[in-house]
A and B are shown apart, each in its own frame.
Chain A
Amino acid sequence: MMIEALLVVTVASAVAVMFADEEIAGRLAFGLSLLPLAGSLLMLLGFDGSGNALLGGNIAYETQVDWISLGDITVGYHVGVDGISIALLVLTTVLMSLAILSAWTPIDERQSQFYGLMLFMEASLIGVFTALDFLAWFVAWEFVLVPMYFLIAIWGGPRRKYAAIKFFVYTNVASLVMFIGFIALVFGLGDSITSLGLPEIAQALHAGQLGSLAGIAPETLKAVAFVAMFAGFAVKVPLVPFHTWLPDAHVEAPTPVSVILAGVLLKMGTYAMLRFNFTMLPDQAVAFAIPIAIFAVISVIYGAMLALAQQDLKRIVAYSSISSMGYVLLGLVAYNLYGLGGATFQMVAHGLISGLMFMSVGVIYNVAHTRMVGDLSGIADRMPLTATIFTAAAFGYMGLPLMAGFAGELYIFLGGMQSTVLPGAQLFTAVAMFGIVIVAGYLLLAMQRVLFGPFDADTDHEIVPAAVTDRVSIVVLLLLVILLGTAPDLIYGIIQDAVQPILTIGGGF
Chain B
Amino acid sequence: MVGAFDFAAAVPLLPFASFVVAILAGYFTPRLLPKGGAIPGIIATGGSLLLSGWLLVTVSGTATFNEEIYTWTTGMAGETFDLSFGILIDPLSSYMLVIVALISFLVHVFSLGYMNDEGETGLPRYYAGLGLFSFSMLAFVMASNILMAFMFFELVGLCSWLLIGFWFREPGPPSAAKKAFLVTRFGDYFFLIGVVAIFATFGTGLFAPRGDELGFPQLAADVLAGEAVPVVSNFLGTIGLGAETWFAIMGLLVLGGVIGKSAQFPLHTWLPDAMEGPTPVSALIHAATMVAAGVYLIMRMFGFYAQLPRVLALIALVGGFTALFAASIALVKREIKQVLAYSTISQYGYMMLALGAGGYVAATFHLMTHAIFKALLFLGAGSVIIAMHHNENMWDMGGLKDKMPVTYYTFLSGSLALAGIFPFAGFWSKDEVLYEALIHGLNDPIILLAYAMGLVAVLFTGFYTFRMVILTFHGEARTETAEDPHGVRWNVKFPLVVLGILAATVGFVNMAPVKELTGMDITYLHHWFENGIHEVTLGEYHHLLEEVAGYHAADLAPFLPAALSLGLALLGAGLAWILYSGPEPTAHTDKLGSIKTLLYNNYYQDEYQVWLAEGVTMPIARVADKFDQGIIDGVVNAISSIALFSGSRIRRLQTGRVTNYAAMLTLGLVVIVLVVALVGGWF
Interface residues of A (CB under 8 A from B): 166, 169-170, 240-241, 243-245, 302, 305-306, 308-310, 337-338, 378, 380-381, 385, 395, 398, 400-402, 406-407, 410-411, 413-414, 416-418, 420, 426, 429-430, 433-434, 436-437, 440-441, 444-445, 447-448, 451-455, 486-489, 492-493, 496-497, 500
Known contacts A310-B625, A444-B182: A400-B189 contact under CB 8 Å:
no
The residues in B between 145 and 174 inclusive whose CB is less than 8 angstroms from any CB of A are 147, 150-152, 154-155, 158, 161, 165, 168-171, 173-174
The main secondary structure of chain B at its interface with chain A is helix
Tell yes or no: B402 within 8 A of A by CB: no
Contact count band on B:
35 or more
Q: Which 6 A-B pairs have the closest CB atoms?
A: A401-B151, A452-B174, A309-B625, A308-B621, A309-B621, A244-B633
CB-defined contacts of B27 to chain A, threshold 8 Å: 385
Known contacts A306-B628, A309-B622, A448-B175: A401-B169 contact under CB 8 Å:
no
CB-defined contacts of B192 to chain A, threshold 8 Å: 413, 433, 436
CB-defined contacts of A426 to chain B, threshold 8 Å: 197, 239
CB-defined contacts of A492 to chain B, threshold 8 Å: 73-74
Tell yes or no: B682 within 8 A of A by CB: no
Contact status A395-B76, CB under 8 Å: no
Tell yes or no: B196 within 8 A of A by CB: yes
Contact status A417-B197, CB under 8 Å: yes
Contact status A337-B168, CB under 8 Å: no
Known contacts A385-B27, A452-B165: A440-B182 contact under CB 8 Å:
yes
Q: Distance in Å from the Cβ of B195 to the closest Cβ of chain A?
A: 9
Q: Interface segment, B104-112, B305-313, B465-473, B612-620?
A: B612-620
Contact status A455-B185, CB under 8 Å: no
The residues in B between 62 and 105 inclusive whose CB is less than 8 angstroms from any CB of A are 71-76, 79-80, 83
The main secondary structure of chain A at its interface with chain B is helix
Beyond A244-B632, A452-B174, 14 additional pairs, beta carbon < 8 A = A166-B640, A309-B622, A309-B625, A337-B79, A402-B151, A410-B196, A411-B73, A418-B200, A448-B177, A453-B174, A488-B72, A489-B74, A492-B73, A496-B76
Contact status A451-B76, CB under 8 Å: no
Contact status B193-A433, CB under 8 Å: yes
Known contacts A417-B200, A440-B182, A489-B71: A500-B168 contact under CB 8 Å:
no
Contact status A380-B196, CB under 8 Å: no
Tell yes or no: B610 within 8 A of A by CB: no
Contact status B171-A401, CB under 8 Å: no
| Residue from the list A401, A410, A452, A488 in contact with B155, Cβ < 8 A | A401
A378 to B169, CA, bound (A): 6
Known contacts A337-B76, A400-B154, A407-B73: A305-B621 contact under CB 8 Å:
yes
Q: Distance in Å from the Cβ of B254 to the closest Cβ of chain A?
A: 14
Tell yes or no: B636 within 8 A of A by CB: yes
A496 to B75, CA, bound (A): 8
Q: Distance in Å from the Cβ of A201 to the closest Cβ of chain B?
A: 27
Contact status B189-A434, CB under 8 Å: yes
Q: Show 21 residue pairs from A and B whose CB-CB distance is below 8 angstroms, ordered by the A residue.
A: A170-B636, A243-B632, A244-B633, A305-B624, A306-B628, A308-B621, A378-B169, A385-B27, A400-B154, A410-B83, A410-B147, A413-B192, A413-B193, A420-B238, A433-B192, A436-B192, A440-B185, A453-B171, A454-B169, A488-B72, A489-B73
Among B73, B628, B640, residue most surrounded by chain A Cβ atoms (within 10 Å): B73
Tell yes or no: B178 within 8 A of A by CB: yes
A417 to B238, CA, bound (A): 10
Q: Distance in Å from the Cβ of A166 to the closest Cβ of chain B?
A: 8
CB-defined contacts of B79 to chain A, threshold 8 Å: 337, 500
CB-defined contacts of A244 to chain B, threshold 8 Å: 628-629, 632-633, 636
CB-defined contacts of B181 to chain A, threshold 8 Å: 440, 444
CB-defined contacts of A380 to chain B, threshold 8 Å: 168
Q: CB-CB contacts of B185-214 with A at 8 A, as 1s and 0s?
A: 110010011001101100000000000000
A437 to B188, CA, bound (A): 9
Contact status A400-B168, CB under 8 Å: no
Q: Distance in Å from the Cβ of A403 to the closest Cβ of chain B?
A: 10
Tell yes or no: B235 within 8 A of A by CB: yes
Contact status B185-A436, CB under 8 Å: yes
CB-defined contacts of A410 to chain B, threshold 8 Å: 83, 147, 196
Known contacts A337-B80, A440-B181, A493-B74: A395-B621 contact under CB 8 Å:
no
Contact status B189-A437, CB under 8 Å: yes
A445 to B150, CA, bound (A): 24
| Residue from the list B182, B238, B624 in contact with A441, Cβ < 8 A | B182
Of all chain B residues, the one with the shortest Cβ separation from A411 is B73
Of all chain B residues, the one with the shortest Cβ separation from A444 is B178
